[in-house]
Chains A and B, each alone.
Chain A
Amino acid sequence: MSKISEITETAGGGACHAGDLGSPFCALCDVRERSVCADLNPREMARVEKTMARRSIAKNAAIVSEGEPNQNLYIVVGGSFRLIKYLEDGRRQVTGFLFKGDFIGVRATAQAAYTAEALEDSHVCAFSHQFLDEAAKSSPGVKDRLIARGQTEYHCAQEHIVLLGKKTAEERVRSFLSQLASVIGTPGEDSAIETPLPMSRQDIADYLGLRLETLSRTLAALKKSGAIRSISRHHVSLKF
């Protein structure tokens, strides 16, 4: 992500040369090919770029806050986020994690139902829903195609409910790790899968509905059984 890391916020319109070559940002964006804008035709792409803004989000800062209006669709182009729901008395539930190529704020809301916080220094592209809705008049389905790939907060909720319906702590931890590996894991030596863990242990415990101690105990048991080859604070090597 070094390509855009120095930018804090850039409105697309001025700086970008919307046209055949696309903007330098979009042309260089390594998320684009994989999922985000690949399905847009050049004309749509040009329009999208015009109003798009890139933002960098510092670790632990929120991009969407529960109860606040949100008018933007965000694409995570670098880094990762946790989704959080706060209960009335301030207790929090981690409801999901989003990574590069995923989406936040799929619909404009007067009151966001969750908070999205950066797990590390991250980058997003922001599109206003108003613009996307207007663009849809001349390019039907542009929004749908934009978010046809990648995870959204709604996918997260689905995954979470399936996960919480699992029976034991071990099953939960296993399915969390394999979900994570399939999204951000890379093949390593000896058919291991190397997966970063950008979130804290407490985030994982809160997400899985486990107590920290139970999570640690379960991770230790998985390491002993060989399912986890090695684990450090922000990295896990899995054997499947």
Chain B
Amino acid sequence: MKEEWLKYLSAPAPRYTSYPSALRFGEEVDAQLYEEKLRGVGQYEPVSIYVHIPYCKQLCWYCGCNMRVENRPERMRAYVDSLLREINAVGERLAGNGRVASVHFGGGTPNMLPAGELGCILDAIEDRFGLTDDACLAIELDPRLVRPGDIRLLADLGFSRMSLGVQDFDVRVQWAINRLQRFEIVEASIAEMREAGVEDVSFDLLYGLPKQTRDSFSETLDMALSLSPDRFAVFGYAHLPAALPRQQMIKQEDLPDPQSRAALAEMACDRFVAAGYAAIGFDHYARPDNALAIAMREGRLRRNFQGFTDDIAETTIGFGASAVSYAGGVYVQNHKDIKSYRHKVDAGALPVARGVVRSGRDQQYAATISRLLCALEADLAPLARFMSPDERAQIDGSLDRLERDGVIRRHDQVIEISSEARSLSRVVAAAIDPYFNAAQKGAPTV
């Protein structure tokens, strides 16, 4: 990475899986508003569904997700009952409108639930929302919990996309994050997937983990590539021990410094591109014949809560604790706490805790930021009318710096991110983001 880009590496930047970010969610959004927006969903409007399973077998110390360790099946069954209630409640309000384009099971660990219970959830979705054969069904899996035969059951339920939490193959790193999983386990899982005809397998990898070195990560990448998944997602570990107590188990001194972090991310990128994968956005890689790569080539790539996606649906309906929905310009988040979530749903209410209404300005910024992250270029002209002279000056200042450093090129109002600076695209997005800029005022800038 270029010398002058290093300073951007340690610069904070939102992940932009939603805009405005979840940090801005507040109480202005309630169940009543969500219901109103659900009524506005069009008859054949594509809708994507997200189901959150907040349970894991064991705590991984790096994790930033809403999850809890749970080993009592009866508790999980009770949660599934609440999920089914919620699906029915939302389905009633949609009254036949909407058309399911995709269903994504995330967590936590969705395969904490037996296939039969996942099947019940899918049946409820099919009954309430309709599910056709071309809807895409995806699930995140912990390979340590995959028993022989499980994958076949999931494939028979219709899951055609599976993503495995791999993180890192090095045993020293695995000890440092409390996630021991042998290579053979992942190897066996993907073999079963291929056997069952699953043609879209993704590996999640993490860089910036404790004890990770260039050599160890290089080996992890080789091992991962030897299994030929169809995609990779390579996320950077964010160390926020003050906000996430479990991360206090990770020692600061074991973490690679920002420069090494960048080198790890760059190594992954180089290695995957050399192996024939297309670089998608700033952290995904896909085989050229994979749906994600095709979507990118055709300019259909989008960003949603799961990252970069080929899903065409704007409207997202989230089920489960902490799940986020988006309908009619409003983000809605369910109660995070499983108890409050269940309490609300079991009382017949929609378990809405908070959210935010996207203003016209937000929508315009969201579209521009999405273009920057997905296509690496965007036209700022449509934003001009939303900018105060002060904001304009601040943004121009940041963009000037980024241009001087070769991160971006500008032609008139169009910003183009240099393809080698792809990993910095969030920093460019942050430079034009009014919420981010307002929050940074007073804080030292790069």
Instruction: Give chain A's interface residues, CB within 8 Å of chain B.
Output: 85, 87-89, 91-93, 95, 157, 160-169, 202, 205-206, 208-214
Contacts and interface: CB of A to CB of B under 8 A. Distances in A.
Interface residues of B, number: 23
B101 interface: yes
A206 B135 CA distance: 10
Contact of A93 (B44, B95, B97, B310): B44
Interface stretch (B31-39, B122-130, B239-247, B322-330): B122-130
B132 interface: yes
Looking at B95, B96, B123, which has the most chain A CB atoms within 10 Å of its CB? B96
B96 A163 contact: yes
B126 A210 contact: yes
A210 B135 CA distance: 10
A221 B131 CA distance: 19
Interface in B334-363: none
Contacts of B99: 87, 93, 209
A91 B134 contact: yes
A91 B129 contact: no
28 contacts: A85-B44, A87-B44, A87-B46, A89-B310, A91-B134, A92-B134, A93-B44, A157-B43, A160-B96, A161-B95, A164-B96, A164-B97, A164-B130, A165-B96, A167-B127, A169-B123, A202-B133, A205-B132, A206-B133, A209-B99, A209-B126, A209-B129, A209-B130, A209-B132, A210-B131, A210-B132, A211-B126, A214-B126
Chain B at the A interface: SS class: loop
Contacts of A169: 123, 126-127
Interface in B128-153: 128-134
A87 B131 CA distance: 15
B43 A165 contact: no
B229 interface: no
Interface in B297-330: 300, 310, 312
B158 interface: yes
Given A88-B312, A161-B43, A161-B96, A210 B134 contact: no
A214 B125 CA distance: 12
Interface in B355-405: none
A139 B132 CA distance: 46
A211 B158 contact: yes
A38 B323 CA distance: 57
B282 to A, nearest CB: 23
Interface in B97-133: 97, 99-101, 123, 126-133
